[in-house]
Amino acid sequence: MDKTFDIVVVGAGIAGVSAACELARTGLRVAILEMEQQPGYHATGRSAAILAQSYGNSVIRRLTRASEHFFRTPPAGFADHPLLSPRPILHVARADQAERLRRLFDDSNDDGKLLEWLDAEELAQAAPHLREGYAVCGFRNKEASDIDVNALLHGYLRLFRQAGGELHTSSAVGGMTFNGGRWTVETAKGGFSCRTLVNAAGAWAAELGKLAGARDMPLTPLRRSAVVIDAPEGLAVSDLPMVIDADEEFYIKPEAGKLMASPGDETPSPPCDAAPEEIDIAICIDRIEKAFGLDVRRIDSKWAGLRSFLPDRTPVCGFDADAPSFFWLAGQGGYGVQTAPAMAWLTAAIVTRQPPPAALSDARIAAEALSPSRIF
């Protein structure tokens, strides 16, 4: 006998869990199906955990702004400590990158107040660990924050369960059919029946779309690698800013008394349990040694995750034109954590055919900008 729900959400990453929570809070009966043994195992559990209001294209920046209030004042009982802690970001440029950095500053300084331009001297004060003479200019986002991703994911799950939602792990969706106005979804743990299916399958979203007979979504998973290294002796790291190269050729930030760094790689990959390649780790170490004058002797840990992008680097949030009652929530790229609250509200508004909440309209987020119809 199939288990019966109003909505089945495929994927228990931050996208699926946050959307399922907002849907369940409207009174609908919602299940999440996750192929792994625990939620957040793929991209969500591997992020740099940053909220940067100046990161990404203008749609992403508006989604992030609309989400910020949720991060700062989540619903009562969501988490027992703040979800955000201040982590200023410094974008830095060598002489050959200075012009590009200036363009990035002009393009992403939306209200003219968020970002602050720094000359070489101001930069040296703000990032004392940069090698002397390495960077000629930079800019600072003082309002950026570290996100406690684990608390965010589990806060949403707690609210989801309180609203009657069910999370089914070890439940890979292997097939689905639409009949008589309902989807029947096959998993190793049995069948699920629902009126609406939400595809929040991360790097696997295009494959899931094919199973449903939906449009062929041009989604590309791109691998990004990261390492954790010991902090140089004598350097108090916890209050250091995150430092990002002008061309995102590296970034580095404090991580529990150590330093987390990435070479900013974007290597196309099939959907998989991503692992870092030695070459990307070597490039990462080389770049941060040059920028910070470090001598990295030991790598504490390393990992990789898939950031999945559509060609315009904007996520897709809306019903498919071919497959009935099949909803796309995919392509969050490198911004899926910081935009999750706004994406979840938009999903719930479209699925329940309600007007979007004020946070979205105030941020001038139009559903059309995220609709699958913009792609085909």
Ligand X SMILES: Cc1cc2nc3c(=O)[nH]c(=O)nc-3n(C[C@H](O)[C@H](O)[C@H](O)COP(=O)(O)OP(=O)(O)OC[C@H]3O[C@@H](n4cnc5c(N)ncnc54)[C@H](O)[C@@H]3O)c2cc1C
Does position 13 interact with ligand X (CB under 6 A)? The reply is: yes
- State how far the Cα of 49 lies from the Cα of 154, in Å rounded to an integer: 15
- Full DSSP string of 80-123: SS-SEEE--EEEEE-GGGHHHHHHHHHHH-TTSSSEEEEEHHHH
Question: Between 129 and 313, whose beta carbon lies closer to ligand X?
Answer: 313
Does position 342 interact with ligand X (CB under 6 A)? The reply is: no
Which residue from 4, 6, 41, 237 is in contact with ligand X, where contact means CB under 6 A? 41
Site residues for ligand X, 145-184, by CB under 6 A, read 172-173
* Stretch touching ligand X by CB under 6 A, among 69-77, 289-297, 318-326, 330-338: 330-338
- Provide the b/e sequence for 107-142 (b: ≥16 CB within 10 Å): ebbeeeebbbebebeebbebbebbeeebbbbbbbbe
Asked if residue 228 lies in contact with residue 301, where contact means CB atoms within 8 angstroms, the answer is yes
Q: Are strands 7-10 and 220-229 parallel, antiparallel or unpaired?
A: unpaired
Site residues for ligand X, 244-283, by CB under 6 A, read 262
Q: Are strands 267-268 and 220-229 parallel, antiparallel or unpaired?
A: antiparallel
**Residue 30 Cβ vs ligand X, minimum distance, rounded to whole Å:** 15
Question: Between 11 and 254, whose beta carbon lies closer to ligand X?
Answer: 11
Number of Cβ within a 10 Å radius of residue 86: 11
Most distant CA atoms of the chain, gap in Å: 69
Asked if residue 248 lies in contact with residue 222, where contact means CB atoms within 8 angstroms, the answer is no
Under rule CB under 6 A, how many of the chain's residues touch ligand X? Answer: 40
Which residue from 30, 48, 89, 259 is in contact with ligand X, where contact means CB under 6 A? 48
- For 80, the token pair is 């027992």
Does position 42 interact with ligand X (CB under 6 A)? The reply is: yes
**Residue 171 Cβ vs ligand X, minimum distance, rounded to whole Å:** 6
Does position 61 interact with ligand X (CB under 6 A)? The reply is: no
Which positions from 69 to 108 touch ligand X by CB under 6 A, shown as an x/- string? ----------------------------------------
**Residue 172 Cβ vs ligand X, minimum distance, rounded to whole Å:** 4
- State how far the Cα of 241 lies from the Cα of 21, in Å rounded to an integer: 33
Does position 35 interact with ligand X (CB under 6 A)? The reply is: yes
Which residue from 307, 323, 350, 360 is in contact with ligand X, where contact means CB under 6 A? 307
Question: Between 138 and 336, whose beta carbon lies closer to ligand X?
Answer: 336
Binding residues vs ligand X (CB under 6 A): 10-16, 33-36, 41-44, 46-50, 172-173, 200-204, 208, 224, 226, 262, 305, 307, 332-338
